[in-house]
Amino acid sequence: MILPLTDDLPDPRIRVVRGAVVVPDQGADLVPHGVFDSRGAFLPLSRARLSRGRVSAVPEARAVEDHLPGTHLYMGFSHTHFGHFLLEGIARLWALDHAEMRIDGLVLPARCDMDMEHNLSHNLGPVVARLCDGLPVRIMHVPTRVDRLVLPSAGFGHGPWLAGTPAFRAFVAKRFAQIEVDGPERLYLTRGRLNRPDQLVDREDEIEAMMEAAGYFVFAPEKFHFEVQLGVFRAARQIVGPDGSAFHHLPFAMRGDARAAVFMRRNRPEVLGYLARQMEGFAGVTPTTIDPRVRPLPRTTPAPLDLDVLRRSLADAGFL
């Protein structure tokens, strides 16, 4: 019997599996993928925590189609979305600082209909460069036998796993210690330059105007190189923005004496608590969290916002 993952992060664990078979996503519900041992037994340690409290399904055993010699670390699960890559793709990299053997490379099981190679060479490339110690990342598109697979437990992830384990937080702190600081002291993180309607924030043009009038620099992180983003985050002393992917790597880079406020832009109230937990865990900063949704509560995304509530909340907390 394979038990589901719990809200508690697993205790740090590293298993070395000789002759492991890495199976990519098979295109079914709950993205079944993972690792089998040399005898054909599925290893529950390889299951991934997905968004909205879901857990990846157990894949069917399939015939091996490829072979990867050497020793490789199972780093997580593929995703081309920047925020999801941070929460799923790098979750096991903490083991790079604890493996007792030389690692030849990193492996990610492929996700159906996502071009990971393209994204790793473009928007996700700087993340890999910062975190992966120069090791090559191999995407497993077919069931592949690996001579020696270093299979760690997840140290980070969606929802209640955002706080990270001490080992994962130490791994991140080490690799984000040196950042070229360059940016304003007051920062508003906008989503107004994104493309999909469901990614946007209600009345954000008005929010941007309000923040600019208060002396904030309006910053769209996705329009800048990852290293530039880190420098801007490290420079800021006051940071305000709607919930979203920027608040997943902001805690990796922000200074410990910074102040932050994050407000809800969609109908997922639990997200604010999770983001606060991550910021507290990685940066030692407890953010102000604000729910400015209009009442009665809407069901649409983006959620209609009450700007008077947002303005008063920011002013009461000393951000305006």
How much of the chain, in percent, has pLDDT values that exceed 70? Answer: 98
What distance in Å separates the CA atoms of residue 137 and residue 282, rounded to the nearest whole number?
Answer: 25
pLDDT at residue 7, as a whole number: 80
- Residue 1's pLDDT band (cuts 50, 70, 90): very low
Structure tokens given for 193: 């330059």
Q: Are 253 and 224 in contact (CB under 8 A)?
A: no
Distance spanning both ends of the chain, measured CA to CA: 54
Measured at the CA of 23, the angle between CA 21 and CA 24, to 5 degrees, comes to 150
Question: What mean pLDDT do residues 86-103 have?
Answer: 97
pLDDT of residue 40: 97
Instruction: Confirm if 305 and 294 have CB atoms less than 8 A apart.
Output: yes
Helix, strand, or coil (residue 28): coil
pLDDT tens-digit series, residues 179-234: 999 999 999 999 999 888 888 999 999 999 999 999 999 999 999 999 999 999 99
Asked if residue 3 has pLDDT above 70, the reply is no
Distance in angstroms (rounded) separating the CA atoms of residues 62 and 139: 17
* C-alpha–C-alpha distance, residues 47 and 30, integer Å: 11
| Per-position DSSP letters for 36-97, written without gaps between them | E-TTS-B-GGG--B-GGG-BPPPPPP----EEEEEEEEE-----SSHHHIIIIISTTGGGGG
pLDDT in tens, 28-44: 899 999 999 999 999 99
Instruction: Find the mean pLDDT for residues 100-115.
Output: 96
Cis geometry, peptide bond prior to residue 292 (ω within 30 degrees of 0): no
Identify the pLDDT of residue 120: 95
Cis bond before residue 302 (omega within 30° of 0): yes
